[in-house]
């Protein structure tokens, strides 16, 4: 059992990280040229489907948050209580960091098996091409790595990081309370919710201007392995969220607003009702983009499972209990298929499609049948060698359903 989040990720960390100075490139190197990028936002611009913007002081905030989580898995918040000058200071600190010469940044490089420090996107291992971005990850104290960047004067940077984490923690708790509230659950119902979570992670991302943005990818499509993520982006757009039936939609920067997205653990907690949203970052030909993601999760060894208030015999739990530590290990190994690995009625022929993560499984016809199988009184317990019969009966049930429809 992992006790620290960093231990959970280490075994799958990157080997052979390749560091190019993207800031000085005049051409897109082959290593960063993606063969086919999905086309940009695919909605019809005459009827734009816009990511909700919620004023947290709105008396209807709980309802609005619930609706946004259910339909999008992402929204922006205003009146969130984080001082604007702190957002600006954080952005300025990030800008200063990424503006350092590459040799200097590499002094604070993530160690081959580490998680904190400077480096390329961690998810790079899952793709044949590199992404047009650089990052700096802070877990716990920023001091160790910051001191390598600025040997004599890193305290300003560290102070901003600490203040930012504190404010984000307050906001994350408030958002959790709204999100749980919208599910009809209070913070008191969830024992760990009011306690100090695990050491959260702060991820600073830099997307330098790119000579060939149509063939480059800033950060490839992924879901976050968190309960929720709070993202500050500078005034350059690039973040896109995927919406079922609509496609990729740009989440435009709104001065002072923060982007909130549902992560995989809230997806599990809500029993699939709130989808962890697939998102990615595109790059720009002329503008440098910067973002700061606050990755919020539960205490690392608390078992996260669908809330009991949301499950009954008609809505059985779709996911087995899993700790954040364990889940991070799965994510590092299976990436976008990690959710399927903890699904109780995971498809029996292996993993499903990478995009299946945000299906509200409970509502699909096949899940009705899967649930039937799960709750069959004759369901053999694992290890009796009878599972194969259930594979067959499941297939038959699916076929029957297709015929009946």
Catalytic (active-site) positions = 289
CB 249 within 8 A of CB 41: yes
Could you tell which of Ni ion, ligand OGA, none binds residue 233, using a CB distance below 5 to 8 A set by kind? ligand OGA
Which one of ligand OGA, Ni ion, none interacts with residue 240, CB within 5 to 8 A by kind?
A: none
Cα angle 14, 12, 128; round to 5: 50
Taking Cα atoms as reference points, which of 262, 264, 261 lies closest to residue 329? 264
Which tokens hold the place of 147? Answer: 């001191």
In whole angstroms, the minimum distance from the beta carbon of 205 to Ni ion comes to 9
Residue with the two structure tokens 């996911």 = 319
Which residues are within 8 A (CB) of 346 and not within 5 positions of it... i.e. 6 or more apart? 340, 352
For the CB of residue 222, give the shortest distance to Ni ion in the complex, in Å: 6
The partner in contact with residue 227, picked from ligand OGA, Ni ion, none with C-beta cut-offs of 5 to 8 angstroms by kind, is none
Q: At 94, is the secondary structure helix, strand, or coil?
A: helix
Q: Count CB neighbours of 256 within 10 A.
A: 16
Q: Are 179 and 283 in contact (CB under 8 A)?
A: no
Nearer to ligand OGA, 282 or 369 (CB): 282
Q: Which residues bind Ni ion (CB under 5 A)?
A: 224
The SS3 call for residue 381 is coil
Nearest CB to ligand OGA, comparing residues 205 and 371 = 205
Question: Tokens at residue 345, please?
Answer: 């009625």
Least distance in angstroms from the C-beta of 293 to ligand OGA: 4
Task: Describe the crossing of helices 84-98 and 155-182 by its angle, rounded to 10 degrees.
Answer: 130
Which residue's beta carbon is nearest to the bound Ni ion?
A: 224
Least distance between ligand OGA and beta carbon 203 (Å)? 4
Q: Shortest Cβ distance from residue 220 to ligand OGA (Å)?
A: 10
Shortest CB 231 distance to ligand OGA, Å: 6
When the beta carbons of 293 and 342 are compared against Ni ion, the nearer one is: 293
Measured over the CA atoms of residue 138, residue 144, residue 149 and residue 152, the dihedral's sign is positive
What angle (nearest 5°) sits at the alpha carbon of residue 387, between those of residues 382 and 391?
A: 140
Contact yes or no for 306/267 (Cβ under 8 A):
no
Closer by beta carbon to ligand OGA, 279 or else 357: 279
Residue number with CB closer to ligand OGA (251 or 269): 251
Name the residue number minimizing CB distance to ligand OGA: 291
298 versus 317: smaller Cβ distance to Ni ion: 298
φ/ψ (deg, to 5) at 135: -140, 165
Alpha helices in 113-261 (DSSP H): 143-149, 155-182
Question: Is 99 in contact with 22 (CB distance < 8 Å)?
Answer: no
* Residues that bind ligand OGA in the complex, under the rule CB under 6 A: 203, 205, 219, 224, 231, 233, 238-239, 279, 281, 291, 293
């Amino acid at each position: 059992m992992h006790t620290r989040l960093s231990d959970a990720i280490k075994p799958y960390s990157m080997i052979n990280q390749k560091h190019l100075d993207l800031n000085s490139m005049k051409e897109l190197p082959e290593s960063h040229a993606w063969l086919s990028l999905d086309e940009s936002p695919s909605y019809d611009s005459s009827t734009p489907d816009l990511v909700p913007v919620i004023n947290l002081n709105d008396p209807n905030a709980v309802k609005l948050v619930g609706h946004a989580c259910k339909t999008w898995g992402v929204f922006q918040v205003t009146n969130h209580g984080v001082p604007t000058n702190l957002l600006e200071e954080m952005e300025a600190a990030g800008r200063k960091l990424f503006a350092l010469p590459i040799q200097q940044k590499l002094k604070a490089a993530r160690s081959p098996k580490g998680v904190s420090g400077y480096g390329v996107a961690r998810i790079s291992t899952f793709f044949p091409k590199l992404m047009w971005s650089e990052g700096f990850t802070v877990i716990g104290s920023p001091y160790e790595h910051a001191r390598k960047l600025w040997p004599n004067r890193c305290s300003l940077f560290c102070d901003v990081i600490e203040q930012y984490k504190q404010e984000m923690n307050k906001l994350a708790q408030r958002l959790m309370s709204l999100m749980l509230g919208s599910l009809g659950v209070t913070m008191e119902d969830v024992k760990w919710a009011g306690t100090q979570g695990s050491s959260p992670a702060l991820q600073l991302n830099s997307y330098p201007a790119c000579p060939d943005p149509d063939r480059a990818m800033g950060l490839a499509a992924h879901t976050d392995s968190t309960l929720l993520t709070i993202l500050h982006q500078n005034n350059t757009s690039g973040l896109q969220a995927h919406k079922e039936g609509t496609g990729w939609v740009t989440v435009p920067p709104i001065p002072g607003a923060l982007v909130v997205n549902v992560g995989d653990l809230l997806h599990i907690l809500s029993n699939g009702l709130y989808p962890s949203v697939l998102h990615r970052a595109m790059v720009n030909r002329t503008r440098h983009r910067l973002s700061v993601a606050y990755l919020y999760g539960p205490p690392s060894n608390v078992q996260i499972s669908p809330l009991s208030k949301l499950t009954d015999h008609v809505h059985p739990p779709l996911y087995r209990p899993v700790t954040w530590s364990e889940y991070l290990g799965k994510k590092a190994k299976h990436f976008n298929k990690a959710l399927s690995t903890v699904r109780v009625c995971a498809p029996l022929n292996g993993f499903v499609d990478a995009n299946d993560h945000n299906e509200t499984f409970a509502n699909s016809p096949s899940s009705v049948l899967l649930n039937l199988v799960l709750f069959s009184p004759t369901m053999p317990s694992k290890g009796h060698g009878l599972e194969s019969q259930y594979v067959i009966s499941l297939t038959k049930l699916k076929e029957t359903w297709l015929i009946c429809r």
